[in-house]
Amino acid sequence: MRLHRLPEIMQRWLPHTEWRGPVAAGEKPLYLTFDDGPIPDETPFVLEQLARYDAHATFFCVGSNLEKHPDIARQVLAAGHRLGNHTFHHVNGWRTPLPQYLAEAQHCQQALDALLPQPEARPLLRPPYGRLTRAQAAALHPGHRLIMWDVLTYDYDATYPADTCLRAALAHTRPGSIVVFHDSQKARRNMRAVLPRYLEACAAQGYSFELL
């Protein structure tokens, strides 16, 4: 069973987290996000697709990938996008003790800050797999915005047909949706097939693509 959007009762269980972005009256913003990069080939492909629609997005980066591919992360920034924290080793919060999890977030943030003109006052963090304990959320919240999602595309699922992935993503999209794609090798097949058509369809419906 694929839950493209978690029920609100489950969202409320985890405090201090953001599941949708702001929506002004009469506007149709979307908040595109990409997890797990930066990665050669995949992240540049995403940047090319976004540029076609003057679309802005937030890239939640794994710290170890940032250290391997800082030039790609700089390309993301130069194109007007935003970088966020996805922990240094893509750890599962449910299986990681609080001190270790906070160290993972801090290590990734140090890699991010090294690329930014100046550190952000309250940087963005998305927990890998969306798995975060209430204690971890409470500890991180004062210094971070904890970003979850309104639409999970499941582009990383190799068993999911691309056409079905696209239809489901569009069916769940609404103004203010935070939408998750992945600029990773695992998601390569579906992301490359779905993202261009998703951007085209949403642009045709009058959506804009904004930064968190």
Amino acid making up residue 84: G
CA 198 to chain centre: 16
Query: Of the listed 4, 35, 86, 144, which one is catalytic?
Result: 35
Q: Is 35 a catalytic residue?
A: yes
Close Cβ partners of 89 (under 8 Å, ≥ 6 residues apart): 62, 63, 64, 104
Query: Of the listed 56, 81, 86, 182, which one is catalytic?
Result: 182
Which residues partner with 179 through β-bridges?
Answer: 32, 151
Q: Is 41 a catalytic residue?
A: no
**Which of 153, 182, 150 minimizes the C-alpha distance to 29?**
150
**Which of 175, 171, 161 minimizes the C-alpha distance to 198?**
171
Give the residue numbers marked as catalytic: 35, 182
